[in-house]
Structure 1
Amino acid sequence: MIVFDLACSGGHVFEAWFGSQADYDDQRARRLVSCPMCGDGRVDKAPMAPRISGTRSSGAPDPKQVMQAMMMAQRKLLASSEDVGGRFADEARAIHAGDAEERQIHGRTTPAEAKKLVEEGVPVAPLPFPVRDPTRDN
């Protein structure tokens, strides 16, 4: 196995494992490699610095650790909120208007509908990482 740091055209950096350099090249050529944060298929290898135990060149946080923390925070948010699926925009409006029980929800909506919610003053925010549809899991 080989580990590569990859980056999408949107600037997201992530780690991916492949059987070999040839496996990476083959999967990339067949457009099977995509960014786990935004789904972008324009992915290239990111510069990788050698890791030397016990040294640190700066006080900057490790991007992989930051992403891991964000993923853990998203998992907590999803576990403590109700999945309303494609009814997200309607349910968010109803909660905001006081027509539905106030609670934490998550779901799916279009970018245009999300923009309308923001313009209407409904407090919404996108999740940092895509959420798998549990009905499509193997």
Structure 2
Amino acid sequence: MIRYTLVCEHGHDFEGWFRSSGSYDDQARSGFVECPICGSTKVAKAMMSPAVAKPVSRPPVSKLPAPVGSAPEASSNASTVPAPTPPTTMPVMAEPERQLRALVRAVREHVTRTADDVGRQFPEEARRMHYGEVTSRPIYGEASPSEARALIEEGIDVAPLPSLPDDLN
């Protein structure tokens, strides 16, 4: 999974998770990426700093020679640099992100527990229910971006079922 920082045409920043860079490009081109604040689908990737892992501990600092012309040492320990303090432990995930993931997981579990999985037949089954050919019921399944767009254009309400990076590992 790739996490992008995105910005809409009105300057609202938000994050989006995508299976790949190509997945983002396809969804953005199809108008499926929208600002959660204003609903704009004119969205672009914002500049991001790379997530680089920091070392757990620093190498020991050696005793450096005194610069030329400096005062002589007062004691043998005067030019020794104190040992670095151990780094403080940072939470793996900030609390708002932890809460959001818990909410996404709860929504996903509720849908999979209470709705019928119709798999790749989702577009056809959604149409059959919309046009009254079968009894309406909660369903979920798979649809390509173009199939989802076609359903929306027909007036059929659909929404993506969110997934988390852990779901794909």
Q: TM-score, normalised by structure 2?
A: 0.46
Q: Specify whether residues 11 and 127 from structure 1 end up closer, same or farther in structure 2 by C-alpha distance, changes over 3 A only.
A: farther
The 8 Å contact of residues 88 and 108 in structure 1, kept in 2 or not, is answered as: yes
Matching residue within 114, 118, 124 for 2:158: 124
Q: Specify whether residues 94 and 115 from structure 1 end up closer, same or farther in structure 2 by C-alpha distance, changes over 3 A only.
A: same
Count, aligned residues: 92
The 8 Å contact of residues 70 and 128 in structure 1, kept in 2 or not, is answered as: yes
Distance 2:141 2:52 in 1: 32
Distance 1:11 1:65 in 2: 19
Please state how far the C-alpha of 1:92 moved relative to its aligned partner: 0.1
> Any residues of structure 2 matched to 1:19-98 within 5 Å, and which?
38-40=18-20, 45=51, 50-51=90-91, 62-98=96-132
> Which segments of structure 1 move beyond 6 Å, counting only runs of 4 or more?
none
What residue in structure 1 maps to residue 146 of structure 2? Answer: 112
> Which structure is larger by alpha-carbon Rg, 1 or 2?
2
Please state how far the C-alpha of 1:129 moved relative to its aligned partner: 1.1
Distance 2:102 2:129 in 1: 31
The 8 Å contact of residues 126 and 156 in structure 2, kept in 1 or not, is answered as: yes
Q: Secondary structure at the match of 2:4?
A: coil
* Aligned partner letter, 2:146: A
Q: Secondary structure at the match of 1:84?
A: strand
What residue in structure 2 maps to residue 56 of structure 1? Answer: none
What residue in structure 2 maps to residue 8 of structure 1? Answer: 2
Q: Secondary structure at the match of 1:77?
A: helix
Distance 2:3 2:104 in 1: 20
User: What whole-Å deviation, never above 9, does each CA across 1:94-114 have from its counterpart, x for those lacking one?
Assistant: 101111111000011111010
Higher helix share: 1
What residue in structure 1 maps to residue 40 of structure 2? Answer: none
Q: TM-score, normalised by structure 1?
A: 0.55
What residue in structure 2 maps to residue 103 of structure 1? Answer: 137
Q: Secondary structure at the match of 1:109?
A: coil
Please state how far the C-alpha of 1:63 moved relative to its aligned partner: 1.1
Please state how far the C-alpha of 1:40 moved relative to its aligned partner: 2.7
